[in-house]
Amino acid sequence: MIAVLKQGTSQEQIEHLTSWLETQGIGVHICEGHFQTIVGLLGDTSRVDEELLSGLDMVESVKRISEPFKSANRKFHPDDSIIEIPAPDGTCVKVGGGNFVAIAGPCSVESEAQILEVARAVKASGANLLRGGAFKPRTSPYDFQGLKADGIALLLEAKKETGLPIVTEIMSADHLPLFEEVDVIQVGARNMQNFELLKELGKTRKPILLKRGLANTMKEFLMSAEYIMAGGNENIILCERGVRTFETYTRNTLDLAAVPMLHELTHLPIIVDPSHATGISRLVRPMACAAAACNADGIMIEVHNDPKKALCDGPQSLTPAQFDDVMKAVLRVREAVL
Amino acid sequence: MIAVLKQGTSQEQIEHLTSWLETQGIGVHICEGHFQTIVGLLGDTSRVDEELLSGLDMVESVKRISEPFKSANRKFHPDDSIIEIPAPDGTCVKVGGGNFVAIAGPCSVESEAQILEVARAVKASGANLLRGGAFKPRTSPYDFQGLKADGIALLLEAKKETGLPIVTEIMSADHLPLFEEVDVIQVGARNMQNFELLKELGKTRKPILLKRGLANTMKEFLMSAEYIMAGGNENIILCERGVRTFETYTRNTLDLAAVPMLHELTHLPIIVDPSHATGISRLVRPMACAAAACNADGIMIEVHNDPKKALCDGPQSLTPAQFDDVMKAVLRVREAVL
Amino acid sequence: MIAVLKQGTSQEQIEHLTSWLETQGIGVHICEGHFQTIVGLLGDTSRVDEELLSGLDMVESVKRISEPFKSANRKFHPDDSIIEIPAPDGTCVKVGGGNFVAIAGPCSVESEAQILEVARAVKASGANLLRGGAFKPRTSPYDFQGLKADGIALLLEAKKETGLPIVTEIMSADHLPLFEEVDVIQVGARNMQNFELLKELGKTRKPILLKRGLANTMKEFLMSAEYIMAGGNENIILCERGVRTFETYTRNTLDLAAVPMLHELTHLPIIVDPSHATGISRLVRPMACAAAACNADGIMIEVHNDPKKALCDGPQSLTPAQFDDVMKAVLRVREAVL
Amino acid sequence: MIAVLKQGTSQEQIEHLTSWLETQGIGVHICEGHFQTIVGLLGDTSRVDEELLSGLDMVESVKRISEPFKSANRKFHPDDSIIEIPAPDGTCVKVGGGNFVAIAGPCSVESEAQILEVARAVKASGANLLRGGAFKPRTSPYDFQGLKADGIALLLEAKKETGLPIVTEIMSADHLPLFEEVDVIQVGARNMQNFELLKELGKTRKPILLKRGLANTMKEFLMSAEYIMAGGNENIILCERGVRTFETYTRNTLDLAAVPMLHELTHLPIIVDPSHATGISRLVRPMACAAAACNADGIMIEVHNDPKKALCDGPQSLTPAQFDDVMKAVLRVREAVL
């Protein structure tokens, strides 16, 4: 971290700053230039409050050189993290470190028949986790909000029936008791910076599927993971699901370069959700293949037994047959890039 | 609302669609063109699930002509809403309908001395509400998170001392009991689409200061207000605080055109926060004046007795003297545009 | 195209509008609803001036249903266009319709030794077009601007030596005479809406490599292609090279979903430039593979014999050995997704 | 400027870098930390090629501390620049340094009657420059492209008649001969980085009205001004006209905070175009007042004698009567903020 001091900062002020930083265990190196004095901060600067530092009136600007995230940082944890999700049969679904996960299921759980039919179909095609929305974040209060507790019950039934561990989204820490038997808890894009929720999830040891916010940088994404990890829960799977831009043909702009970039920055696994990113079912196959081609640790795809009747997100869902075709292509691509 | 049907849609399918819509109380008008058939939906389409409709396989695309928000819509409520905030002395602070509000205070409540000094100063300069952060949403779990309950206690002390009603941010519905005596509850940008929180606030009758999300459209902003109003709480003050763009010299890009645009779309009052939008104290005066010039219903400004020691957001805070100067200029501008 | 009329529009006004549209060869269909009247425009609306129409005071809003681009539109030209680039040996390099092109070379042409060495290397690895910058668009007037005419001469030498047709960027129509022997003329992102340049290129019959602007929608991208095609030149290769967002770890955000989306909208081939999109050489391999996986018609990659000495864009250039490895992986991915 | 070196950079490499920088007249200061070595570059770093420097393989990252623009930089030119535009009557219209300019006129010049009527009207309301489009950059090749040379002839007639100097847009350096008698040459947003055009304009001494690009940072905006100034033409007026975001209710997002920010960074005058920024005539008055309130050096507003018949941009044009009202309000606001 570097602090550029304003012209005319006195020696005394500099010493005051230096001692204040040293009390925080930060080493200091001063470079005095003709036009400006630069203070280099050495050591673990992730705990230095950047806004506080730039608030000091002797400071012109502050620039971070090392990242503000620590537990999530690959520099301090070179090996890939592998997240293990116990399956009913005693085995484990592994994500990361070369283990590819395929998560599939309907946007919303609608009925027993629907979720069972989809669960059996996606399992047959090679999915190893079942997704389904029970609590639905909808932009309009008048749109379908999900079956809530009943939806979770139906997912657990499908889990019992197929042996697939389940993934479903949480919208409030108050609902945590309902997630007792849920295998992976999803945090949606709109809650990526719901810090109180992240802190509560940090107290659990459940695997968390953390989706990137619609307009959040990779740094903020990792800082949100850091919130959960700071609480002691290191079981985090990151999910790129598209960011918001000016483009309107696709719902969001899928930032696939974030996959290799995040692999550099962090040891956590990164999966991709092409369904929500594009909002168009015809684009799911090519973007799922592209995700596999840039080494994503998995994909999450919406599959519906009858998309035209889906209670939400119909336009982006695949039929079981289409999903089967996508899975075959994705596995071939993984072979190709090894 | 308009639905464009795919070529080759049968008469039978169209009738099926029509009857399905009519069961929802929606009138239907069909225009058959050479290349495509267009279905016009008439009546209250705010309750039609746009994604569900576009999910039907006969539908090529859906376009909304009327807005999806209803309670917040000026069309159904032509007069400005005036939000009334009771003051300790029995009077009311009014916002909207020509009533201008000036909210000021420190980013974070730090100590009794600090909050009392700032409260007295901003009141003397004409502020009619006191702001101060007790629960702080910070990007990093390692940054100062606020004094929490103690911060609220200090705000209430300042309220008792100065008679200024207080505004402070809530980060979780679980904290609501602590907000009993808080006069205006703020929902921060990162929680604008925390729908569970919005629903809980809809059950209260407290005035809500709803900040626009970093990358949310005005339509989404009004849909979040709609969440609160759908619960029965119509006491909402909207706050424009800058959106996220590619620009880096300023922290965010203050979207001032949203003020007159929102005034057209909704009857709710709209205020502006130039401190967080720009992140630079030197830009607060010109942008506060600009907000008044485009008819904002108020401003919210960070004021600190000693910015260089602020525990957060130092670079954007004004001194009491600077705030006094801003208030004078803002009031002159209001005169000028009447 | 649909025009929503304001409430209270008189029958006479509607007839006036109808006849005015019919003089432009546009069919009209009126749907009168309870609250509003909707005018459906039928026929070739690509020539209707949307802004002019919405300027009429009886019109509340205008919504396009069919795209404003025509020559580039797949609806009117279902088969893929195949762009043919004659090679010195009498053969043709084909792009599109299943023909994959690999364009490689240095960001800037620097010397005879450099361009020849790179040209030989990339040819050996399977590149079929040589790229190199002679005119360089740089943000700063103080940065290296390219060898200009000398750069083109060196490219032609490399073409003679290796038999690879060449691609280089034009920055002004005044330079066209210098591009006599250039095989493919590149239009850079910053000139995507330099309409005067596009018109001049429309008069030539040279293949044009049109790069997407930093903040342009796919629709605008296709309208710029339309400018060239309207002049009679249909030899256009589109190039996705990343759009501008709030993210800072990567130089731009590569919008790979634009590849399958554009394939739906247009018959023109679409290639991808992972070097400029990411600005980081380590991300070029995964993103080139991802581009192949979502069916891009080619890739354009920066290769330099000694990146650390590159006069520009060093951080994103590959060594010939790295490029060779990328080519092998890309071809395997193409196999996998067939 | 600061260069962070990779771990394990040898003393020899550092010396090599140092001497290379010194040959460019750059002073060097080395700070060796425990984990990294930081090289501080001192002196005029605006001529250091940032990309070249970060291309060196010993360099981990480069951060600019001082701005890359020099002639436009207020640091080296503390006083406001005042641009003088000679009027036919021998007087001068001044822009900047406290001189406020009001530019008004139709989007497109359509006829003698139209331009004369508008010119007389806006002059009567206090406009001191007449604008009108002769060459029109349109997204679609099928939309009206302007009257070109005839349009300029009509503008010159209106100038003769009213004594108002004229402003009109150039789209290609080839058209410069037609701009002989044009008083201010406008460079549109889409050409802000048409560097060849900027270089040609740098050779003239005409006042240039440079509009900010749709997705360009303030830094890039000033670098484009730098291109013109590097050629010797320092008569530049900057124009903020809205940037592109995800918002759709307004055409662009007017970045008014750019006005005070640019005033800090540069000595050049900055005006605001609320007509193109919002695309909605009803928003022009509040945003023009807001521009004046944050100390813009002028406004540029579209005025049409009969907006509903405008050949382009109708929805954003004001009537002469509306413009007259805006002028009165704007002047009152200027008084208020002095």
State which amino acid sits at residue B196.
E
Across the interface, whether the CB atoms of C38 and B63 are under 8 A apart is answered no
Half-sphere exposure of B71 (CA within 13 A, CB side): 18
Does any CB of chain B come closer than 8 Å to the CB of residue C97?
no
pLDDT given at position A14: 86
In this prediction, residue A202 carries a pLDDT of 98
Question: Across the interface, which of A35, A43, A246 has its CB nearest the CB of D246?
Answer: A246
- Does the pLDDT value for residue C61 go beyond 90? no
Asked if pLDDT for residue D66 goes beyond 80, the answer is no
* Structural contact between residues A219 and A239, judged by C-beta atoms closer than 8 angstroms: no
CB proximity C4 to D under 8 Å: no
Least confident of A306-320, D2-16, D165-179: A306-320
Question: Closest by alpha carbon to A105, among A84, A123, A92?
Answer: A123
d(CA D187, CA D170): 6
pLDDT at D310: 53
Distance from CA of D337 to the nearest CA of B (A): 6
Give the pLDDT band of residue B308 (cuts 50, 70, 90): low
- Quote the tokens at residue D78: 């503390």
**Is the CB of residue A193 less than 8 Å from the CB of residue B190?**
yes
What do you get for the CA distance between the two ends of chain D, in Å?
A: 37
Compute the average pLDDT of residues C87-98.
Answer: 97
Q: Tens digit of pLDDT for each residue in D212-229? A: 999 999 999 999 999 999
Q: How confident is the model at residue B6 (pLDDT cuts 50, 70, 90)?
A: confident
More confident residue, D51 or B82: B82
Query: Across all residues in chain D, what is the average pLDDT?
Result: 92
SS3 B45: helix
**Residues D218 and D261 sit within 8 Å (Cβ to Cβ):** yes
A222 three-state secondary structure: helix
Hey, what amino acid is at D249? Y
Distance from CA of C220 to the nearest CA of A (A): 10
CB distance B332–D336 less than 8 Å? yes
A–C CB contacts, 8 A cutoff, strictly below: 137
pLDDT band per the 50, 70, 90 thresholds, residue B196: very high
Average pLDDT, chain C: 92
Chain C touched by A89 (CB under 8 Å): no
Length of chain B, in residues: 338
Q: Please, are residues D283 and D254 in contact by the beta-carbon 8 Å criterion?
A: no
Half-sphere exposure of B297 (CA within 13 A, CB side): 27
pLDDT digits (tens, 9 = 90+) for D95-133: 999 999 999 999 999 999 999 999 999 999 999 999 999
Subunits touching A (CB < 8 Å, at least 3 pairs)? B, C, D
Phi, psi of D168 (to 5 degrees): -150, 155
Model pLDDT, residue A35: 62
- Comparing B82-96, B295-309, C113-127, the range with the smallest average pLDDT is B295-309
Instruction: Calculate what percentage of chain D has a pLDDT beyond 70.
Output: 96
Ranges A181-190, D15-24, D152-161, D314-323: which has the least confidence: D15-24
Tell me if B100 sits within 8 A of B334, measured CB to CB: yes
**pLDDT greater than 90 at residue D309:** no
- Out of D40, D63, D244, the one facing A33 most closely (by C-beta) is D40
- Quote the pLDDT of residue B165: 98
Task: Name all chains with 3 or more CB-CB pairs below 8 Å to chain B.
Answer: A, C, D
Arithmetic mean of pLDDT, C133-158: 94
- Judge: C2–B63 Cβ closer than 8 Å, yes or no: yes
Q: What is the 3-state secondary structure (H, E, C) of chain C?
A: CEEEECCCCCHHHHHHHHHHHHCCCCEEEEEECCCCEEEEEECCHHHCCHHHHHHCCCEEEEECCCCCCCCCEHHHCCCCCCEEEECCCCCEEEEECCECEEEEECCECCCHHHHHHHHHHHHHCCCCEEECECCCCCCCCCCCCCCCHHHHHHHHHHHHHHCCCEEEEECCHHHHHHHCCCCEEEECHHHCCCHHHHHHHHHCCCCEEEECCCCCCHHHHHHHHHHHHHCCCCCEEEEECCECCCCCCCCCECECCHHHHHHHHECCCEEECHHHHHCCHHHHHHHHHHHHHCCCCEEEEEECCCHHHCCCCHHHCECHHHHHHHHHHHHHHHHHHC
Low-confidence ranges of chain A (pLDDT < 50): none
D319 secondary structure, DSSP code = P
Name the closest residue on chain C to residue B41, using Cα atoms. C33
Residues of A in contact with C255 (CB under 8 A): 245, 247, 253-254
What is the total residue count of chain D?
338
The span from the CA of C145 to the CA of C131, in Å, is: 16
Q: Look up residue D338 and give its DSSP letter.
A: -
Compute the distance between CA of residue B334 and CA of residue D329 in angstroms, rounded to an integer.
11
Tokens for D108, please give them. Answer: 């497109």
A7: exposed, middle or buried (C-beta count within 10 Å: 0-12, 13-18, 19+)?
Answer: exposed
For chain C, first and last CA: distance in Å?
A: 37
Distance of CA D149 to the CA centre of its chain: 24
Backbone torsion region of residue B43, taken as left when φ is above 0, otherwise alpha when ψ lies between -120 and 50, otherwise beta: left
pLDDT recorded at residue A58: 82
Predicted local confidence at residue B12, as pLDDT? 84
CB contacts < 8 Å between C and D, how many? 134
- Relative to beta strand C166-170, strand A208-211 is unpaired
Which of D218, D260, D336 minimises the CB distance to B336? D336
- Closest-CA distance of chain B to residue C240, Å: 19
Contact D321, D305 (CB under 8 A): no
* Minimum distance, in Å, between the CA of residue B191 and any CA atom of chain D: 19
pLDDT at A217: 97
pLDDT band at D311 (very low <50, low <70, confident <90, very high): low
**Structure confidence at residue B334 (pLDDT):** 97
Which of A31, A61, A244 is opposite residue D40, by nearest beta carbon? A31
Please, what is the Cα angle at A102 between A100 and A106, to 5 degrees?
A: 165
- Give the span between the Cα atoms of D16 and C337, in whole angstroms: 48
What pTM does this model have? 0.91
For residue A295, which residues of chain C lie inside 8 Å, CB to CB? 286
Query: How is residue A317 annotated by DSSP?
Result: P
Mutate to test the interface with A, among C244, C253, C272, C284 (most CBs of A within 10 A): C253
pLDDT at position C12 over 60: yes
User: For residue C322, what are its two tokens?
Assistant: 């790295």
| pLDDT band at residue B68 using 50, 70 and 90 as cut-offs | confident
Q: Report d(CA B263, CA B240) in Å as an integer.
A: 12
Residue B56 is predicted with a pLDDT of 77
Contact D107, D133 (CB under 8 A): yes
Q: Do B141 and A172 touch (CB under 8 A)?
A: no
pLDDT of residue B5: 85
Radius of gyration of chain D, Cα coordinates, nearest whole angstrom:
23
Contact across the interface for D2 and A38, Cβ inside 8 Å: yes
Task: Read off the pLDDT of residues B128-162 as tens digits, 9 standing for 90 and up.
Answer: 999 999 999 999 998 889 999 999 999 999 999 99
Chain center to CA of D216? 11
